[in-house]
Amino acid sequence: MTTSTHETEIVADARVPLVRITRTFDAPPAKVFRAHTDPDLLVQWLGPRDTEMQINYFDCRTGGSYRYLHSRCDGMEAAFRGCFHEVRPSELIVQTFTYEGFPDGVALERVVFEDLGDGRTLLTSTSLVDTFEDRDAFLASGMEVGVREGYERLDEVLAG
Amino acid sequence: MAADPLSRAFSALSDPIRRDMVARLAVGDATVNDLAAPYDVTLQAISKHLKVLEDAGVVSRRRDAQRRPVHLEAEVFDLMTAWIERYRRQVEERYRRLDDVLRALPDDVEPIPPRREGVQP
């Protein structure tokens, strides 16, 4: 049993407003796919730390749709929804993604599950948005949370 | 507008050769010839890549010096790196939670859960 941690890699494309994220998982594609399609599993990992994820509906099949809420303990809520355009078990999910606070904006997301053998999966997740500004705002959205969680982790280490 | 400095800098760094050039400039200034040496491309192609990096404010070249060494503008570069790194860290946190979920799943799980009633709006 391996205990290695795989690092997440992020690339911001030059030609189109796209962010590409790659990460390897120590699990076969069927398991990684299930964790993306089963609402009971999704709530355990998708939402940012400090938020509670509530799924209104989540029908991960070609032609299906979804809506979920992230709620923070201070009462802030953000709702997201979209449609599943193509779902091929253990291989591919193509979906739209809209933040309801900005309903005119929509991202096209593609998640590819590549079998690396040895019970490992390479996950490639791309998010295509309308403009480069949207893309860079998307990248910047991690900033505040990233810093906060970084300090929280430091606090935990110092307290331990 | 799409031409804000950070967007231009991000775009400039999307090319693998340009990323590699920047990585080498992080060690120290270099001439165009130095930069071209490892690649099987013309000096002209390298100059073109440099021009993109220069226009994006990622590198600068001294006008006066004979060899015109290329210099990495660390401030712009650090800002971009910090920006992406913070986002990357957020995604990494999420994926570590996914690692935990996967560890708890049985090996013979079906890729899609059984269909439930009332999942559609």
What would the 3-class secondary structure string for A22-70 be? EEEECCCHHHHHHHHHCHHHHCCCCCCCCEEEEEEEECCCCCCEEEEEE
Considering only the beta carbons, identify the residue of A21, A34, A48 that sits closest to B111.
A34
Across the interface, whether the CB atoms of B101 and A5 are under 8 A apart is answered no
* pLDDT the model gives residue A155: 45
Considering only the beta carbons, identify the residue of B4, B11, B119 that sits closest to A58.
B119
Distance CA(B8)–CA(B93), nearest Å, equals 28
Distance CA(B51)–CA(B88), nearest Å, equals 28
The average confidence (pLDDT) of chain A is 82
* pLDDT the model gives residue B40: 87
Hey, of B4, B76, B86, B97, which one would you mutate to test binding to chain A, going by the most A CBs within 10 A of its CB? B86
What confidence tier does A9 reach under pLDDT thresholds 50, 70, 90?
A: confident
Q: How far apart are the first and last CA of chain A?
A: 27
Mean pLDDT of A21-38: 93
Does residue A132 register a pLDDT over 90? no
* pLDDT the model gives residue A157: 41
| Residue with token string 């986002």 | B87
For residue range A111-126, list pLDDT tens digits in order.
999 999 999 999 999 9
Across the interface, whether the CB atoms of B112 and A89 are under 8 A apart is answered yes
Per the domain annotation, does A86 fall within a domain? yes
Q: How many CA atoms lie within 13 A of B104 on its CB side?
A: 11
- The CATH number of residue A144's host domain is 3.30.530.20
What confidence tier does A145 reach under pLDDT thresholds 50, 70, 90?
A: very low
| Residue with token string 């969680």 | A149
For residue range B36-64, list pLDDT tens digits in order.
988 888 889 999 999 999 988 889 987 76
Residues in chain B: 121
Per the domain annotation, does A19 fall within a domain? yes
Per the domain annotation, does A2 fall within a domain? no
Does the B1-103 domain belong in CATH 1.10.10.10? Answer: yes
* pLDDT the model gives residue B120: 52
Q: Which two tokens stand for residue A123?
A: 């996950």
Q: Which domain holds residue A27?
A: 9-159
What confidence tier does A24 reach under pLDDT thresholds 50, 70, 90?
A: very high
What residue type is assigned to position B6 of the chain?
L
Question: In chain A, how many domains are there?
Answer: 1
Q: Give the other-Cβ count within 10 Å of B109's Cβ.
A: 18
CB-CB contact of A19 with A12 (8 Å): yes
What residue type is assigned to position A59 of the chain?
D
